[in-house]
Amino acid sequence: MKAVTRTEFSFEGQKSVYHGKVRDVYNIDDELLVMVVSDRISAFDVILPEGIPFKGQVLNQIAAQFLDATQDIVKNWKVATPDPMVTVGVKCEPYEVEMVIRGYLTGHAWREYRDGKRTLCGVTLPEGMKENQKFPEPIITPTTKAKEGHDEDISKEEIIAQGIVSKEEYEQLEAYTRAIYQRGSEIAAKMGLILVDTKYEFGKKDGEIILMDEIHTPDSSRYFYAKDYEADFAAGKAQKQLSKEFVRQWLIENGFQGKDGQQVPYMSEEYCNSVTDRYIELYEQVTGKKFEKAESEDVLARIEKNVSDYLASRK
């Protein structure tokens, strides 16, 4: 299958389209958003030059399953999934922060800690921690939502002081974040996994807080294998991860971290297919279902027909 790295549809009622790092979002009559999850892959806030076949389907179907599994906690934006790579949802006014929650000291938090920082987003970190160690309690480390470039760490106090989110609403976002993470952790545990960290995006519709975008996918979350965690941690070994962290590590090993002047290493077809295999492995581990590759003869035509038929059916 040829990866889908760009879409340029024209749906009935379409007012605009936004091309994000991974998603192409079509505004239908200022009421619905048609989110096409492409096969683009980004790392270090850079869109990599090659797409990953079936990655969009993996992300979209995991997100749909977890949105359904958490809708009793907080209302979410999802209305339908008319195509394996598409979610249609209600248009919300997004909050300009991403709610990042971490149960373990790894990734960005570990890199900051290793470099001597003991405060992250206003949260004081205990002394003497090791990489991949579990926090006494999950910590929330929000970031700004950059339209371009890098998201920036920000504290709860700064968010409230700058008027980005009111104190009352921010505390509600924190409560929802902890509850959804707890639910995701429980589901992961049943699958033999640890939900290490993740991020959520919220918006507002008719005065109500709505969970938006994707949740608990390998692009927004990190998973460890539970059976190996304790032994690997005690031995100081790297944890086997189900996330796209392995892509970041491959880039780092090949001299790329998104810094000025650095070149993205060559991504061979063989390498891209190996990334597909890792995404499918993650899908099957996280959902407990066998991944079924969608019809891929002409993916763009399939998406266009499925979405157009769905929009017509709403009239």
CB atoms within 10 A of CB 183: 18
CATH 3.30.1330.10 fits 94-242, yes or no: no
CA–CA distances in Å: residue 31 to residues 8, 22, 85, 159, 223:
20, 22, 20, 28, 34
Q: pLDDT category, 148, cuts 50, 70, 90?
A: low
- Separation of CA 165 from chain center: 22
Average pLDDT, the chain: 94
Checking if the pLDDT of 23 tops 90, the result is: yes
Over pLDDT 70: what percentage of the chain?
Answer: 98
* Alpha helix stretches (DSSP H) within 128-268: 156-161, 167-190, 226-234, 245-253
User: What confidence score (pLDDT) does residue 240 get?
Assistant: 84
User: What confidence score (pLDDT) does residue 229 get?
Assistant: 97
List pLDDT tens digits, range 237-296. 999 877 788 898 899 999 999 999 999 999 999 999 999 998 998 899 999 999 999 988
Give the closest residue to 152 by CA, choosing from 127, 124, 175, 120: 120
Over pLDDT 90: what percentage of the chain?
Answer: 88
- Same fold? 14-91+269-313, 94-242: no
User: What confidence score (pLDDT) does residue 242 get?
Assistant: 78
Q: What is the mean pLDDT of residues 51-70?
A: 96
Q: pLDDT category, 208, cuts 50, 70, 90?
A: very high
Q: What is the mean pLDDT of residues 171-179?
A: 98
Residues 6+ apart with CB under 8 A from 119: 125
Domain ranges across the chain = 14-91+269-313, 94-242
List pLDDT tens digits, range 102-145. 999 998 999 999 999 999 999 999 999 999 999 999 999 999 98
User: What confidence score (pLDDT) does residue 147 get?
Assistant: 62
User: What confidence score (pLDDT) does residue 219 get?
Assistant: 84
| Superfamily the domain 14-91+269-313 falls into | Phosphorylase Kinase; domain 1 (3.30.200.20)
